Amino acid sequence: MPKLKVGVLYGGRSGEHEVSLMSAQSVIDALDKEKYEVIPIKIDKDGRWPDQIIQPDPTRGSGLDVVFPVLHGTYGEDGIVQGLLELANLPYVGAGVASSAVSMDKAMMRTLFLQDGLPVLPWEVVFNYEWREEPAQVVQRLEESLGYPMFVKPANLGSSVGVSKVKRPEELAPALDLALSYDRKAVVEKGLEGAREFECSVLGHTHPQASIVGEIVPAHEFYDYDAKYNSEDSLLIIPAPLNEEQTQTIQEYACRVFKAVDCSGMGRVDFFLDQQGTIIVNEINTIPGFTKISMYPKLWEHSGLPYSALLDRLIELALEKHRERQALRTSIY
Protein backbone atom coordinates (compact mmCIF):
# COMPACT_ATOMS: atom_id res chain seq x y z
CA MET A 1 0.00 0.00 0.00
CA PRO A 2 1.37 3.46 -0.89
CA LYS A 3 1.79 5.87 1.98
CA LEU A 4 -0.93 8.45 2.55
CA LYS A 5 0.32 11.98 1.86
CA VAL A 6 -0.66 14.00 4.95
CA GLY A 7 -0.34 17.77 4.77
CA VAL A 8 0.13 19.23 8.26
CA LEU A 9 -1.13 22.82 8.03
CA TYR A 10 0.14 25.16 10.75
CA GLY A 11 1.26 28.66 11.70
CA GLY A 12 -1.05 31.27 10.25
CA ARG A 13 -2.16 34.81 11.02
CA SER A 14 -3.70 34.07 14.41
CA GLY A 15 -2.59 35.39 17.77
CA GLU A 16 -2.01 31.70 18.54
CA HIS A 17 0.66 31.33 15.84
CA GLU A 18 3.35 30.21 18.30
CA VAL A 19 1.05 27.64 19.91
CA SER A 20 0.33 26.25 16.45
CA LEU A 21 4.05 25.80 15.80
CA MET A 22 4.44 23.77 18.99
CA SER A 23 1.36 21.64 18.33
CA ALA A 24 2.32 20.97 14.72
CA GLN A 25 5.82 19.84 15.63
CA SER A 26 4.37 17.30 18.04
CA VAL A 27 1.96 16.03 15.37
CA ILE A 28 4.68 15.81 12.72
CA ASP A 29 7.00 13.92 15.08
CA ALA A 30 4.29 11.45 16.12
CA LEU A 31 2.78 10.57 12.73
CA ASP A 32 3.84 7.04 11.77
CA LYS A 33 6.37 7.47 8.94
CA GLU A 34 5.71 3.87 7.88
CA LYS A 35 2.12 4.81 7.04
CA TYR A 36 2.36 8.46 6.04
CA GLU A 37 4.40 10.78 3.92
CA VAL A 38 4.24 13.91 6.06
CA ILE A 39 4.23 17.23 4.22
CA PRO A 40 4.60 20.24 6.57
CA ILE A 41 2.78 23.34 5.28
CA LYS A 42 3.71 26.41 7.31
CA ILE A 43 1.73 29.61 6.81
CA ASP A 44 3.71 32.69 7.82
CA LYS A 45 2.39 35.22 10.32
CA ASP A 46 1.55 37.58 7.47
CA GLY A 47 -0.52 34.88 5.77
CA ARG A 48 1.94 33.78 3.07
CA TRP A 49 1.71 30.13 2.01
CA PRO A 50 4.61 28.04 0.65
CA ASP A 51 5.16 28.54 -3.09
CA GLN A 52 4.73 24.83 -3.86
CA ILE A 53 1.22 24.95 -2.39
CA ILE A 54 0.20 28.17 -4.14
CA GLN A 55 1.65 26.95 -7.44
CA PRO A 56 1.47 23.14 -7.27
CA ASP A 57 3.15 20.81 -9.72
CA PRO A 58 0.69 20.70 -12.68
CA THR A 59 1.25 16.95 -13.09
CA ARG A 60 0.47 16.11 -9.46
CA GLY A 61 -1.85 18.86 -8.27
CA SER A 62 -1.61 19.35 -4.51
CA GLY A 63 -0.38 15.79 -4.11
CA LEU A 64 -2.20 15.50 -0.76
CA ASP A 65 -4.50 12.68 0.35
CA VAL A 66 -5.62 14.36 3.56
CA VAL A 67 -4.90 17.61 5.41
CA PHE A 68 -4.36 17.86 9.16
CA PRO A 69 -5.02 21.48 10.18
CA VAL A 70 -3.16 22.46 13.34
CA LEU A 71 -4.14 26.10 13.04
CA HIS A 72 -5.38 27.42 16.37
CA GLY A 73 -7.56 30.51 16.52
CA THR A 74 -8.61 32.89 13.77
CA TYR A 75 -7.92 32.08 10.11
CA GLY A 76 -7.61 28.40 10.96
CA GLU A 77 -10.02 27.18 13.61
CA ASP A 78 -12.90 29.42 12.58
CA GLY A 79 -14.07 27.78 9.35
CA ILE A 80 -12.02 29.88 6.91
CA VAL A 81 -9.42 27.22 6.09
CA GLN A 82 -12.07 24.51 6.28
CA GLY A 83 -13.97 26.33 3.53
CA LEU A 84 -10.84 26.47 1.39
CA LEU A 85 -10.29 22.73 1.85
CA GLU A 86 -13.92 22.04 0.94
CA LEU A 87 -13.47 24.06 -2.27
CA ALA A 88 -10.34 22.05 -3.03
CA ASN A 89 -12.31 18.84 -2.33
CA LEU A 90 -9.63 17.63 0.08
CA PRO A 91 -10.34 15.44 3.10
CA TYR A 92 -9.29 17.17 6.33
CA VAL A 93 -9.15 16.40 10.02
CA GLY A 94 -11.65 18.04 12.33
CA ALA A 95 -14.84 20.05 12.29
CA GLY A 96 -16.50 21.41 9.17
CA VAL A 97 -17.08 25.02 8.15
CA ALA A 98 -20.20 25.87 10.15
CA SER A 99 -19.15 23.88 13.22
CA SER A 100 -15.72 25.52 13.25
CA ALA A 101 -17.20 29.00 12.90
CA VAL A 102 -19.81 28.74 15.65
CA SER A 103 -17.42 26.96 18.02
CA MET A 104 -14.85 29.72 17.55
CA ASP A 105 -17.38 32.43 18.34
CA LYS A 106 -17.90 32.23 22.09
CA ALA A 107 -21.24 34.07 21.90
CA MET A 108 -22.79 31.94 19.13
CA MET A 109 -21.43 28.80 20.76
CA ARG A 110 -23.15 29.56 24.06
CA THR A 111 -26.41 30.29 22.29
CA LEU A 112 -26.34 26.77 20.84
CA PHE A 113 -25.50 25.33 24.25
CA LEU A 114 -28.51 27.07 25.78
CA GLN A 115 -30.73 25.78 22.99
CA ASP A 116 -29.62 22.24 23.88
CA GLY A 117 -30.37 22.82 27.56
CA LEU A 118 -26.73 22.79 28.65
CA PRO A 119 -25.77 24.82 31.75
CA VAL A 120 -23.66 27.93 30.98
CA LEU A 121 -22.63 31.06 32.86
CA PRO A 122 -24.37 34.39 32.24
CA TRP A 123 -22.58 36.46 29.60
CA GLU A 124 -22.76 39.69 27.63
CA VAL A 125 -21.36 40.70 24.23
CA VAL A 126 -19.60 44.03 23.71
CA PHE A 127 -18.88 45.25 20.18
CA ASN A 128 -15.97 47.57 19.46
CA TYR A 129 -18.26 50.35 18.20
CA GLU A 130 -20.28 50.19 21.45
CA TRP A 131 -17.13 50.55 23.50
CA ARG A 132 -15.95 53.50 21.38
CA GLU A 133 -19.29 55.31 21.32
CA GLU A 134 -20.90 54.52 24.70
CA PRO A 135 -18.25 53.33 27.19
CA ALA A 136 -20.17 54.49 30.27
CA GLN A 137 -23.33 52.65 29.21
CA VAL A 138 -21.31 49.50 28.48
CA VAL A 139 -19.72 49.55 31.94
CA GLN A 140 -23.11 50.10 33.61
CA ARG A 141 -24.68 47.23 31.67
CA LEU A 142 -21.89 44.82 32.58
CA GLU A 143 -21.85 45.78 36.24
CA GLU A 144 -25.63 45.44 36.55
CA SER A 145 -25.97 42.14 34.67
CA LEU A 146 -22.78 40.35 35.74
CA GLY A 147 -21.08 42.12 38.63
CA TYR A 148 -17.52 41.51 39.76
CA PRO A 149 -15.51 39.41 39.19
CA MET A 150 -15.96 38.94 35.46
CA PHE A 151 -13.87 37.53 32.63
CA VAL A 152 -13.34 39.54 29.47
CA LYS A 153 -12.36 37.61 26.33
CA PRO A 154 -12.02 38.19 22.59
CA ALA A 155 -15.04 36.41 21.09
CA ASN A 156 -12.98 34.63 18.42
CA LEU A 157 -9.69 33.50 19.89
CA GLY A 158 -8.35 30.72 22.09
CA SER A 159 -5.44 29.69 24.32
CA SER A 160 -6.53 32.44 26.75
CA VAL A 161 -4.97 35.08 24.47
CA GLY A 162 -6.35 38.50 25.36
CA VAL A 163 -8.29 37.19 28.38
CA SER A 164 -8.47 39.17 31.62
CA LYS A 165 -10.00 38.51 35.01
CA VAL A 166 -11.59 41.74 36.20
CA LYS A 167 -12.07 42.11 39.95
CA ARG A 168 -12.46 45.88 40.30
CA PRO A 169 -14.06 48.68 38.26
CA GLU A 170 -10.73 50.23 37.32
CA GLU A 171 -9.66 46.98 35.63
CA LEU A 172 -12.62 46.77 33.26
CA ALA A 173 -11.63 49.38 30.66
CA PRO A 174 -8.08 48.01 30.13
CA ALA A 175 -9.52 44.48 29.85
CA LEU A 176 -12.02 45.54 27.17
CA ASP A 177 -9.31 47.49 25.32
CA LEU A 178 -7.15 44.37 25.30
CA ALA A 179 -9.88 41.97 24.17
CA LEU A 180 -11.10 44.35 21.45
CA SER A 181 -7.57 44.75 20.13
CA TYR A 182 -7.84 41.09 19.02
CA ASP A 183 -11.48 40.98 17.84
CA ARG A 184 -14.38 43.24 16.89
CA LYS A 185 -16.42 41.86 19.77
CA ALA A 186 -15.70 40.74 23.30
CA VAL A 187 -17.52 38.18 25.42
CA VAL A 188 -17.80 39.13 29.08
CA GLU A 189 -18.72 36.32 31.47
CA LYS A 190 -19.72 36.19 35.10
CA GLY A 191 -16.72 35.08 37.14
CA LEU A 192 -16.82 32.16 39.54
CA GLU A 193 -14.83 32.30 42.75
CA GLY A 194 -13.42 29.03 43.99
CA ALA A 195 -14.55 27.01 40.96
CA ARG A 196 -12.58 23.98 39.80
CA GLU A 197 -11.70 23.49 36.12
CA PHE A 198 -12.10 20.25 34.17
CA GLU A 199 -11.55 19.13 30.61
CA CYS A 200 -12.85 16.19 28.59
CA SER A 201 -11.69 15.11 25.13
CA VAL A 202 -14.19 13.95 22.51
CA LEU A 203 -13.39 11.84 19.45
CA GLY A 204 -15.65 10.67 16.65
CA HIS A 205 -17.97 11.68 13.87
CA THR A 206 -21.55 10.38 13.99
CA HIS A 207 -21.06 8.57 17.31
CA PRO A 208 -18.65 10.64 19.46
CA GLN A 209 -16.94 9.17 22.48
CA ALA A 210 -15.68 10.97 25.57
CA SER A 211 -12.33 10.35 27.26
CA ILE A 212 -11.77 10.17 30.97
CA VAL A 213 -11.92 13.57 32.68
CA GLY A 214 -8.94 15.64 33.78
CA GLU A 215 -8.69 18.49 36.27
CA ILE A 216 -6.54 21.57 35.81
CA VAL A 217 -5.04 23.33 38.81
CA PRO A 218 -3.53 26.43 37.15
CA ALA A 219 -0.21 27.90 38.24
CA HIS A 220 -1.75 31.36 38.03
CA GLU A 221 -5.06 32.78 39.22
CA PHE A 222 -6.70 31.37 36.10
CA TYR A 223 -5.53 29.12 33.26
CA ASP A 224 -3.95 31.87 31.16
CA TYR A 225 -1.62 31.59 28.15
CA ASP A 226 1.56 31.38 30.25
CA ALA A 227 0.08 28.74 32.58
CA LYS A 228 -0.97 26.64 29.56
CA TYR A 229 2.19 26.73 27.48
CA ASN A 230 5.16 28.06 29.46
CA SER A 231 4.79 27.15 33.12
CA GLU A 232 5.46 23.69 34.49
CA ASP A 233 3.75 24.58 37.76
CA SER A 234 0.18 24.02 36.56
CA LEU A 235 -1.10 20.62 37.65
CA LEU A 236 -2.94 18.29 35.28
CA ILE A 237 -4.69 15.66 37.38
CA ILE A 238 -5.71 12.60 35.35
CA PRO A 239 -8.14 11.10 36.15
CA ALA A 240 -9.88 13.96 37.89
CA PRO A 241 -10.80 13.37 41.54
CA LEU A 242 -14.56 13.27 40.99
CA ASN A 243 -17.23 10.82 41.98
CA GLU A 244 -18.71 8.50 39.38
CA GLU A 245 -21.86 10.57 38.89
CA GLN A 246 -19.88 13.79 38.31
CA THR A 247 -17.56 12.07 35.85
CA GLN A 248 -20.45 10.59 33.89
CA THR A 249 -22.25 13.94 33.79
CA ILE A 250 -19.18 15.70 32.36
CA GLN A 251 -18.71 12.95 29.77
CA GLU A 252 -22.40 13.12 28.80
CA TYR A 253 -22.28 16.92 28.56
CA ALA A 254 -19.08 16.73 26.48
CA CYS A 255 -20.76 14.54 23.86
CA ARG A 256 -23.87 16.75 23.89
CA VAL A 257 -21.69 19.83 23.33
CA PHE A 258 -19.92 18.06 20.46
CA LYS A 259 -23.27 17.29 18.81
CA ALA A 260 -24.79 20.70 19.59
CA VAL A 261 -22.22 22.44 17.39
CA ASP A 262 -22.22 19.55 14.85
CA CYS A 263 -18.55 18.87 15.49
CA SER A 264 -16.50 16.11 13.85
CA GLY A 265 -13.16 14.48 14.51
CA MET A 266 -11.96 16.07 17.70
CA GLY A 267 -13.05 18.52 20.35
CA ARG A 268 -11.92 19.37 23.85
CA VAL A 269 -14.74 20.52 26.12
CA ASP A 270 -13.99 22.64 29.18
CA PHE A 271 -16.07 22.74 32.36
CA PHE A 272 -16.37 24.43 35.73
CA LEU A 273 -17.53 22.87 38.99
CA ASP A 274 -18.77 25.59 41.33
CA GLN A 275 -18.75 25.55 45.10
CA GLN A 276 -22.35 24.31 45.18
CA GLY A 277 -21.39 21.26 43.11
CA THR A 278 -22.98 22.44 39.85
CA ILE A 279 -21.25 21.42 36.62
CA ILE A 280 -21.15 24.26 34.07
CA VAL A 281 -20.09 24.07 30.43
CA ASN A 282 -17.44 26.62 29.50
CA GLU A 283 -16.53 26.02 25.83
CA ILE A 284 -15.45 23.60 23.11
CA ASN A 285 -12.18 23.83 21.19
CA THR A 286 -12.38 22.19 17.76
CA ILE A 287 -8.60 22.26 17.23
CA PRO A 288 -7.29 21.79 20.77
CA GLY A 289 -3.64 22.05 21.68
CA PHE A 290 -1.50 19.12 20.58
CA THR A 291 1.73 19.88 22.41
CA LYS A 292 3.34 17.29 24.66
CA ILE A 293 1.66 18.84 27.72
CA SER A 294 -1.74 19.44 26.09
CA MET A 295 -4.77 17.90 27.72
CA TYR A 296 -6.49 16.60 24.58
CA PRO A 297 -3.93 13.89 23.71
CA LYS A 298 -3.05 13.29 27.37
CA LEU A 299 -6.64 12.44 28.23
CA TRP A 300 -6.86 9.96 25.36
CA GLU A 301 -3.51 8.43 26.29
CA HIS A 302 -4.83 7.82 29.81
CA SER A 303 -8.01 6.42 28.24
CA GLY A 304 -5.95 3.79 26.41
CA LEU A 305 -5.37 5.53 23.07
CA PRO A 306 -1.70 6.52 22.58
CA TYR A 307 -0.73 9.70 20.71
CA SER A 308 0.18 7.99 17.41
CA ALA A 309 -2.96 5.85 17.44
CA LEU A 310 -5.03 8.98 18.16
CA LEU A 311 -3.58 10.64 15.03
CA ASP A 312 -4.38 7.50 13.01
CA ARG A 313 -7.97 7.61 14.22
CA LEU A 314 -8.35 11.30 13.41
CA ILE A 315 -7.13 10.69 9.86
CA GLU A 316 -9.55 7.75 9.50
CA LEU A 317 -12.40 9.99 10.64
CA ALA A 318 -11.36 12.68 8.15
CA LEU A 319 -11.51 10.18 5.30
CA GLU A 320 -14.84 8.82 6.57
CA LYS A 321 -16.34 12.31 6.69
CA HIS A 322 -15.04 13.05 3.18
CA ARG A 323 -16.55 9.84 1.76
CA GLU A 324 -19.86 10.75 3.35
CA ARG A 325 -19.76 14.19 1.75
CA GLN A 326 -18.76 12.80 -1.65
CA ALA A 327 -21.86 10.59 -1.63
CA LEU A 328 -24.17 13.63 -1.47
CA ARG A 329 -25.93 14.84 -4.59
CA THR A 330 -24.56 18.01 -6.14
CA SER A 331 -27.05 18.23 -9.00
CA ILE A 332 -30.82 17.91 -9.38
CA TYR A 333 -30.30 15.87 -12.60
Which is the catalytic residue, given 92, 225, 229, 253?
229
Of residues 103, 156, 164, 285, which has the active-site annotation?
285
* Known catalytic membership, residue 268: yes
Task: Write down the catalytic residue from 158, 268, 294, 296.
Answer: 268
289 annotated active-site: yes
Q: Which of 11, 270, 282, 307 is catalytic?
A: 270
283 is catalytic: yes
Single out the catalytic residue among 289, 294, 296, 307: 289
Is 285 tagged catalytic? yes
Alpha helices by DSSP H, listed for the chain, are 17-30, 51-54, 80-87, 97-104, 106-115, 128-133, 135-145, 169-182, 225-229, 244-260, 295-302, 307-326
Q: Identify whether 148 is a catalytic site residue.
A: no
253 vs 250: CA distance, rounded Å: 5
Query: Which is the catalytic residue, given 14, 16, 201, 256?
Result: 16
> Which residues neighbour 316 within 8 Å (Cβ) at sequence distance 6 or greater?
none
Q: CA 261, CA 118: separation in Å to the nearest integer? A: 12
Q: Please list, residue by residue across 159-195, b when 16 or more beta carbons sit within 10 angstroms of its beta carbon and e when fewer do.
A: bbbbbbbbeeeebbeebbebbbebbebbbbbbbbeeb
Q: Which whole-number Å values give the CA distances from 215 to 12, 113, 234, 299, in the listed order?
A: 30, 22, 10, 10
Let me know if 193 is a catalytic residue: no
User: Distance (Å, rounded) from C-alpha 103 to C-alpha 44?
Assistant: 24
Please tell me which residue in 20, 26, 103, 159 is annotated as part of the active site: 159
Query: Is 159 considered catalytic here?
Result: yes
Catalytic residue among 92, 265, 283, 307: 283
Question: Is 16 an active-site residue?
Answer: yes
Catalytic amino acids?
Answer: 16, 159, 229, 268, 270, 283, 285, 289
